[in-house]
């Protein structure tokens, strides 16, 4: 087993491609099985998630997180920097901040459409459910979106970025983002616009990971963006609060581009700030980062 690990350490592309292929195949098998057994398409919230397939989805997501961590530790060794999965108070704050940013930026096109009168609220979730049922439906939708975000940020972001930590930032940001977009083809038809948005989103979340060294800020941005999109979709089971009908003049790529610029600027500022610190402060910051990386 040690010799295999040494071989894989020298052939990281093999590790990465095998890992991503496993996720891709798992997604195809799971989503196809659910469709054939139940007749429902649960990807992108098209149909509600049932009790059994919901439990299977949760178990599968958790399993992929632990499998990703195990593969990473096996290949890179126990002394390698952590993927940043453990949740600490500081990371919880980063998660909340990420969700707030992701939701606020991505809800702007819909709010703008309402303010300009090009779209109207056609329906509300409270017209279909009582208060307790509404709270339960939204809580389940939020939990599934959050778990999905954490799983994808662990498997599609943290894993390759730590695996190739010796490579340039451009490589570590771009390569995982391309594969992140491609994996969505497991249950989606190819669309250049959709792939472009996923690519930009992947780059943004990669920069969020590079900023913190853990999955929680990126997971928050990921979850917040999805919440904003679903909140106006009329898909109550997926987290919708209203159904928005009409024309949204601001294109989907605009908020993603805004977030990319924000996180890109934040990363550049942080790097310049570090360069201007006295040596003693840099050493102290590096020590704090090293201690944090162990968790």
Task: Say whether pLDDT at 283 is over 90.
Answer: no
pLDDT of 155 > 80? The answer is yes
**Nearest one of 143, 138, 172, 153 to 222, comparing CA atoms:** 153
- Give the residue from 196, 177, 182, 188 showing the smallest Cα distance to 254: 196
Does the structure show a pLDDT above 80 at 117?
yes
In this prediction, residue 287 carries a pLDDT of 53
Question: Given a cut of 90, is residue 235 above it in pLDDT?
Answer: yes
User: 286 near 248, Cβ under 8 Å?
Assistant: no
Domain boundaries, the chain: 2-293
Residue 284 above 90 pLDDT?
A: no
CA distance from start to end of the chain: 25
The C-alpha atoms of residue 149 and residue 143 are separated, in whole angstroms, by 10
Tokens 């605009």 locate to 254
The pLDDT value recorded for residue 180 is 95
pTM of the model: 0.91
Question: Could you tell me the pLDDT band of residue 4, with boundaries at 50, 70 and 90?
Answer: confident
pLDDT at 294 over 90: no
Q: Where is average pLDDT lowest: 5-9, 76-80, 105-109? A: 5-9
């Amino acid at each position: 087993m040690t010799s295999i690990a040494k071989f894989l350490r020298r052939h990281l592309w093999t590790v990465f491609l095998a890992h991503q292929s496993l996720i891709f195949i798992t997604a195809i098998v799971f989503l196809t099985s659910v469709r054939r057994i139940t007749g429902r398409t649960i990807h992108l919230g098209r149909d509600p998630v049932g009790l059994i397939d919901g439990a299977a989805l949760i178990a599968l997501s958790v399993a992929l997180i632990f499998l990703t961590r195990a593969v990473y530790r096996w290949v890179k060794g126990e002394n390698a920097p952590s993927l940043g999965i453990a949740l600490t108070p500081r990371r919880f704050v980063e998660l909340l901040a990420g969700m707030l940013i992701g939701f606020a930026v991505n809800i702007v096109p819909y709010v703008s459409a309402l303010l300009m009168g090009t779209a109207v609220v056609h329906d509300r979730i409270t017209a279909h459910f009582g208060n307790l049922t509404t709270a339960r439906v939204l809580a389940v939708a939020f939990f599934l979106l959050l778990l999905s975000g954490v799983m994808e940020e662990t498997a599609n972001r943290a894993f390759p970025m730590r695996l190739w930590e010796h490579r340039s930032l451009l490589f570590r940001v771009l390569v995982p983002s391309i594969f992140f977009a491609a994996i969505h083809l497991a249950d989606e038809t190819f669309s250049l616009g959709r792939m472009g948005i996923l690519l930009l989103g992947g780059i943004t979340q990669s920069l969020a990971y590079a900023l913190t060294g853990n999955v929680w800020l990126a997971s928050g941005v990921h979850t917040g963006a999805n919440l904003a999109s679903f909140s106006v979709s009329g898909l109550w089971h997926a987290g919708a609060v209203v159904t928005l009908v009409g024309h949204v003049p601001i294109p989907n790529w605009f908020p993603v581009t805004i977030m990319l610029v924000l996180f890109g600027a934040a990363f550049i500022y942080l790097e310049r700030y570090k360069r201007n610190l006295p040596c003693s402060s840099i050493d102290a910051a590096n020590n704090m980062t090293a201690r944090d990386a162990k968790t």
